[in-house]
Amino acid sequence: MSERILVFYGSYRTDRMGIRLADYCVRSLRARGVDAALIDAQAVDLPILDRMYKEYPEGEAPHAMTALARRIREADGFVFVAGEYNWGVQPGLKNLTDHFLEEWFWRPAGIVSYSAGRLGGARANLAWHGTLSEMGMVVIPSTVEVGPLASTLDAQGRLLGEAGTSLEGRFARFADDLLWWAEAARVQTGRRALPY
């Protein structure tokens, strides 16, 4: 059975470069036979958080929120492609994530961060680790930091030079880790009820 992995991306900027990395993640996972799909916060266009999905009366949540809740519940795992903004997380990705809670429970999540600088979004990567854990996901130990992004992937998402070669190797290890945890969670969920 092929794992279903959702790749989340959250920039709303006009000239967003991180979409290259998000697309690369989806393509790389699909090349492994994974049922991978991109969830672009800008395209989903949820409002600024007022009420979480679970806080709406049955059948009254916005359609986009209801559809995404279903997709999250059906997924085996998640990848968060996280840009670093001023040492912190992208507001668009954080807003999308915060609309849900129980939908995330008991599945693995991996973090792929990026920035224009050489640290590759490491500070945002660290911030996301605690956030996703608090939301009930099992955050895998492997992470990928990409920076500078423009030296790693071209406008078409093709790998560039040594930085691209390095990303390819690191992402392979990351994907192995994520898929191991996704399979383990799926098997365990089939064996016994969730603790809560």
Tokens of 42: 């800008």
**pLDDT score at 194:** 82
- Mind giving me the DSSP string for 38-56? EEEHHHH-PPSSSS-GGGS
> Helix, strand, or coil here: 114?
strand
**pLDDT score at 84:** 93
Q: What percent of the chain has pLDDT over 70?
A: 99
**pLDDT score at 193:** 86
Q: Domain-by-domain residue ranges, the chain?
A: 4-191
**pLDDT score at 1:** 63
Q: What is the pLDDT of residues 66-77, one digit of tens each?
A: 999 999 999 999
The full length of the chain comes to: 196
Asked whether the beta carbons of 110 and 151 are under 8 A apart, the reply is: no
Q: Residue 195: which pLDDT band, with cuts at 50, 70 and 90?
A: confident
Q: What is the pLDDT of residues 132-153, one digit of tens each?
A: 999 999 999 999 999 999 999 9
Asked whether the beta carbons of 160 and 148 are under 8 A apart, the reply is: no
In which element (H, E) is residue 18 found? helix 18-31
Is the confidence at residue 196, as pLDDT, over 80? no
* Amino acid identity at 84: E
Is the confidence at residue 29, as pLDDT, over 90? yes
Which CATH number does 4-191 carry? 3.40.50.360
**pLDDT score at 177:** 98
Q: What is the pLDDT of residues 87-137, one digit of tens each?
A: 899 999 999 999 999 999 999 999 999 998 889 999 999 999 999 999 999
In which element (H, E) is residue 183 found? helix 161-191
